[in-house]
Structure 1
Amino acid sequence: MKVATTPKFRVGLPQKPGLAIQWGPIGDVGVFHEMTGENLRISGIVPQPIISCMAVMDYCLSQKKHIVSSFVKSSQSLTPDAMNKRDLVESVVRILGVNNTSKMNPSISLVELGIDSLMSIEVKTLVERNYDVTMSLQEIRQLTVGQINEIGESSSDNPSAPETATKIESEQGMN
């Protein structure tokens, strides 16, 4: 949707050229809810209740921007002790939809665990935001469980703590 609205917005088509609302995870309905069945915090964002989406809909529609986002940031602060290598592995395998991590081979790669492009972006965001490690999507796909442990272990003393907020942001200067 973002791709469809940007060119129309740039050339100034009349009134409403289109609107893309980036909701983030929605907790009450859809694939995310069906897969998890619970409210999980992923990359500092918690699933947004559908009632919250409906509450901000008018606000989103009244914006003069063509791309807006609505998400709920986690209210839980992470301490260095809470964000360790085990938490990173558990977060990554949760993104992949893997349930049993107790007997996971450390040499198995994320590709072998079935990572797709959207999951790769989620893992990349998680690693960059919480562990200050920058990697390409291809490098993310080739990571092994053991390497993820190493990232969590080496960076566990400096994680980022998510803020508490419900927010609507307008994106400017989108390409």
Structure 2
Amino acid sequence: MTTWVPLLVPLEDYAELADLVAAREAHRGERPVEVRDVAVEVDGAPRDPDDVLLEHWVPWSVGDLATLAEGASKTAERWARAMDACTEAVNSGHHWLSTSEVAERTGMTINEWRDAPRKITRHLRANYPNVPVDKDGHKVWPLLAKSKPGSQEIHWAINGEQAKRWRAVREAQR
């Protein structure tokens, strides 16, 4: 068992450093502590670290979002439908949707939606040279995916800026 000590970090770095600690624990053969269960406080109010990460997530350009919205492939079409569902969830004040919720809200089967993330990396490489990249140089997906403690499903979200841009793209299509 590792001895723990508190470490103050900038809020915008919390999620990345928490993931690093979990990876190092796993590398040592230790069972990682669910660092996502730790409450982050902002102005005295507890915050979900995943919500903080979502707020700082870099959105795509309107042009790249338009390319996704106009895409004819099954991958693009499924992601566009999921983007619609997650944008609607943001409008109702609910940020994170489970895989089954995304499938239900979009009319896809769970397997259809699960297939979309499996193919998105290759789709991004082929069609989106200018989307943001993460610290490892990987293209950022149009939705943020996270596992949530106590759930057997991946959860999906879109931040406010990405949702605003997506709404603009969808309105321009009408």
TM-score, normalised with respect to structure 2: 0.28
Task: Determine which structure has greater relative contact order: mean sequence separation of CA pairs < 8 Å that are 6+ residues apart, divided by chain length.
Answer: 1
Greater C-alpha radius of gyration: 1
Q: Please state which structure has a larger fraction of its residues in helix.
A: 2
TM-score, normalised with respect to structure 1: 0.28
